[in-house]
Amino acid sequence: MNSHKQITASTGCFSLFALVLACVLGTPVVAQVTAERILNAASEPQNWLTYSGGYASQRYSRLDQITRANVKDLELAWILPNQVFGAWQSTPLVVDGIMYVTQRPNDVLALDALTGRVFWQYSHQVSTDARVCCGANNRGLAILGESLFMGTLDGRLIALDARSGTSLWNIAVADPALGYSLTLAPLVVKDMVLVGVGGGEYGIRGFIAAFDAATGEERWRFNTIPGPGEPGHETWENEGWVNGGGSVWVTPSYDSGLNLTYWGIGNPGPDWNPDQRPGDNLYTESVVALDADTGALQWHYQFTPNDGYDYDSVQVPVLADISWRGTPTKAMLWANRNGNFYVLDRTNGRFLQGTPFVKVSWMSGFDANGRPIQTPPAPGEALWPGNQGGTNWYSPSFSPRTGLMYVSAWEGYASTPVKEEVTYVPGRNFGGGSNSPVVPVPGAPGPRIGRTTPINNWTDAVGNGATIALDPDTGERTWTFRHYDVTDSGILTTASDLLFTGGREGYFYALDATTGEELWKASLGGQIVNGPITYAIDGVQHVSIISGNSLVTFRLRNL
């Protein structure tokens, strides 16, 4: 069952340009969000039109009203509590003064972005067949025209009228009883809605699909686990491809000039026992570049062949046109869960560079083609980084001003993997083993808390979170800011050289993007596991973050 309710109020008009109608009727006025507007999202930084702020997924904003000098004057503008318990992973969209956000498990809210007032709420009742490995997470929405798009935990894709929250169409993408789900924010490209399926821990066979935004009709499909006759099928033995995993649970990127979409692919199945699936297991733990119109594979690069460590490569591909070692390069920047920071040529997938940004023990280096030379741990031996990775799905940022890539990292963190024989049972966990975190030795050197430290110094940290700045030219750290606890937060940078991020300890930080110096922080009281955004209404810049189950928005005092 799905439900929709409209919430009206007699006060709280959201901005001058949103028109009197919103206050009179209690409903938002929605501008036509064309494909061209999304393509040129950087030119309207007052909005936040896609999950990552734009197709290049840089999470960089041209807004600069909040600066390094005045960020200390940020104050709370409004707060919206979520009625469902649990950390909230959604990234909001902001369109011309209206905010759209998902809350757990599969609700959509339309808000006045100036005051936090709720215009309407849509609720999807998730099927009892739904199975998700890692929490009832939904990471957000896509918008096109006057329609919003949401994936659901029970494997459905829903289109909503952005003006009223009523359902336009609702289709089944995959069978939830087999472990399929949709937890990513969809991506709109041209007149299509693109999604990938989750469920890698349940022995699914993953895929990516595009749907007509107007009707929900499927346009194309790409199997992330190739079957007989498909390129890459030869990398699977013993029929392992049938339940090969390869889930996609984080939003992709898009290069309109090349007409390529870039997707990070998750773990193979079973996770922990590669002996049951000999071969490289394409296209798990890879980035695939797909033609946006047809879904045809153009190139791939595999980060961790025959992965036995659960190093899902679902991180957001960051696209940047840079001078790499003196050569103009259409680059893809990727800090991977396996502990390496990669620079790839996004036109053809050519490996340019791979450099560890945390301690790495599962490999000793790369061969001439960029393939990792693996050194798997012996039974009972520590794996570096541990299975949560050097980073994970947390959204990074790239600033064209500083030329640096910013990543939320886990330092000094290892685990011990154990593999077991497992038999596939539909809808049940297909892990094939387990892992245990390595307990630090008493008296071992710990992290320097809340401090910015010199380049590439992760050896003095034990199981701690850090925000790090990486130089794509060298692969090395430029600076490190250490948190009080591990961090699962995304990152935002701005044209005033500010960096916003959070941590599991509940602090929301503003750092100097050039040095990592802490400039401001607020204690919000809940784990931060989403990416901050920034937007402007009537010339006033706002910054929003979700802490625990509350959406919190700041702006400068006296503006």
Q: What is the 3-state secondary structure (H, E, C) of 349-374?
A: CCEEEEEECCCCCCEEEECCCCCEEE
Euclidean distance between CA atoms 264 and 303, whole angstroms: 10
Percent of the chain clearing pLDDT 70 (strictly above): 90
DSSP H or E run through 510:
strand 507-512
Average pLDDT on 295-313 reads 97
Cα 122–chain centre separation: 23
Backbone angles phi, psi at 80, to 5 degrees: -125, 110
DSSP H helix total and E strand total for the chain? 2, 39
- pLDDT given at position 83: 74
Q: Amino acid identity, residue 46?
A: Q
Tokens of 156: 């459905």
Report whether 77 contacts 553 (CB < 8 A): yes
Longest dimension (CA), the chain: 68
Q: What is the CATH number of the domain that holds 444?
A: 2.140.10.10
Catalytic residue among 154, 310, 312, 488: 310
- pLDDT given at position 159: 98
Euclidean distance between CA atoms 405 and 411, whole angstroms: 17
Over 90: is that where the pLDDT of 291 sits? yes
Report whether 334 contacts 301 (CB < 8 A): no
Tokens of 65: 């009203």
Tokens of 122: 């849509």
- pLDDT given at position 21: 39
- The residue ranking higher by pLDDT, 222 or 457, is 222
Q: Amino acid identity, residue 283?
A: Y
CB atoms within 10 A of CB 377: 17
Over 50: is that where the pLDDT of 462 sits? no
Domain count, the chain: 1
- pLDDT given at position 137: 87
Domain encompassing residue 382: 2-556
Q: Which of 508, 461, 249 is nearest to 357 (CA)?
A: 461
Euclidean distance between CA atoms 344 and 301, whole angstroms: 9
DSSP H or E run through 24:
helix 20-25
Over 50: is that where the pLDDT of 524 sits? yes
Instruction: Provide the pLDDT confidence category of residue 27 given band limits of 50, 70 and 90.
Output: low
CA distances from 452 to 18, 246, 385, 399, 515 (A): 42, 37, 22, 19, 8
Tokens of 54: 């734009």
310 an active-site residue? yes
CA distances from 512 to 163, 529, 557 (A): 39, 21, 20
Tokens of 8: 């009206």
Percent of the chain clearing pLDDT 90 (strictly above): 83
CB atoms within 10 A of CB 359: 17
- β pairing state of 404-411 and 415-419: unpaired
Euclidean distance between CA atoms 310 and 349, whole angstroms: 23
**pLDDT tens sequence across 171-187:** 999 999 999 999 999 99
Over 70: is that where the pLDDT of 442 sits? no
**pLDDT tens sequence across 43-79:** 999 999 999 999 999 999 999 999 999 999 999 999 9
Q: Which of 374, 379, 380 is nearest to 362 (CA)?
A: 374
Report whether 133 contacts 427 (CB < 8 A): no
Taking the model in full, what pTM does it have?
0.93
